[in-house]
Amino acid sequence: MTDRAFAVVRAGALTTVQDLGRPGHAHLGVPRSGALDPPAARLVNRLVGNPPQAAVLETTLNGCAVRPRCAVTVATGGAPCPVTVDGRPAAWGAAVRVPAGALLDIGSAAFGVRSYVAFGGGVAVEPVLGSRSTDLLSGLGPAPLADGAVLPLGPTPPAHARVDAAPHPAPPRELVLRVRYGPRADWFTDAALRTLTRGAYRVSSASNRIGLRSEGPPLERSSTGELPSEGMVLGAVQVPPDGCPVVFLADHPTTGGYPVVAVADERDLPAAAQAVPGTPIRFVPVRGRIGG
């Protein structure tokens, strides 16, 4: 019987298993999790013939290397990076056939932060609450990849998409986040709200899957009281005591006690997953206010 699995040769800085996440469990204190760049994850799955929700690998900055124990079709997308099979260059952004025992090496991101690797059949680790995603905050799902680990693959899909090239958006030179003020915008001065949308912010190197941290002018609060913990949503722009906004991403906590000045449009968050430290951030207000 074919051993449908792959061994991890080089885990990289942070490589995790991700699918489209486990939404709907915030009342249990469980974050959504899932791929930070869902369009990239969906595309590589499509290229190898998987359904959109199949689990993939999400690498961070310096990629990973694995050795499949069976012949398998693989596609890499997200942040552009070199791909080799047994040392020979292979296509990025297209389906590649990897023989059993060959070394598949996903190199460092040339641009952006996170690359996605889909295997025909998907990464078939045991699901938790309906998802195979690694959640760094709660610890649910499989542990981040480690050298020597062996992960199972699902059954071979019937066919993969036969395309010469697939469109991938380039990592952003400037991260533009459309935001709606609220629910705690009234905890900040009018000057702070102007600063949020006009200030020179950049992506901080302290960013992670929980939140994109910014560096720039602090936001001045009009209220200095303590805010009871309340529910947090994907894209919430929370302001900690240092005054620099934090945009909550997939592994964000479900509650928090710092005020949320605005909420970013979910459609803009995949670009946040690929914004390297130092990338300028522009918060663009749109009509409507969150909450009352």
Check which CATH number belongs to the domain holding 203 and give it.
Answer: 2.40.100.10
Q: What's the confidence (pLDDT) of residue 71?
A: 97
Within a domain: 259 = yes
Choose one of 152, 186, 202: the last residue of a domain.
152
34 lies in the same domain as 99? yes
239 lies in the same domain as 144? no
98 lies in the same domain as 214? no
108 lies in the same domain as 210? no
Q: What's the confidence (pLDDT) of residue 110?
A: 95
- Can you give the pTM of this predicted structure? 0.93
80 lies in the same domain as 140? yes
Q: What's the confidence (pLDDT) of residue 290?
A: 63
User: Structurally, how many domains does the chain consist of?
Assistant: 2
The predicted model gives 147-160 an average pLDDT of: 93
Within a domain: 111 = yes
Give the domain extent around 126.
Answer: 5-152
User: Which tokens go with 276?
Assistant: 């390297």
131 lies in the same domain as 179? no
Q: Is the pLDDT of residue 164 over 70?
A: no
101 lies in the same domain as 206? no
221 lies in the same domain as 282? yes
Within a domain: 165 = no
Q: What's the confidence (pLDDT) of residue 24?
A: 87
Q: What's the confidence (pLDDT) of residue 29?
A: 85
Within a domain: 136 = yes
Q: Is the pLDDT of residue 166 over 80?
A: no
What's the whole-number average pLDDT of the chain? 94
Contact (Cβ atoms closer than 8 angstroms) between residue 242 and residue 218: yes
The predicted model gives 243-269 an average pLDDT of: 96
Contact (Cβ atoms closer than 8 angstroms) between residue 48 and residue 33: no
Within a domain: 166 = no
Within a domain: 130 = yes
Weakest-pLDDT range from 24-28, 57-61, 85-89: 24-28
Give the C-alpha separation, 85 to 95, whole Å: 13
145 lies in the same domain as 187? no
138 lies in the same domain as 232? no
24 lies in the same domain as 142? yes
Choose one of 152, 184, 203: the last residue of a domain.
152
Q: How far is CA 206 from the centre of its chain?
A: 15
Choose one of 152, 167, 197: the last residue of a domain.
152
Within a domain: 255 = yes
Within a domain: 160 = no
55 lies in the same domain as 182? no
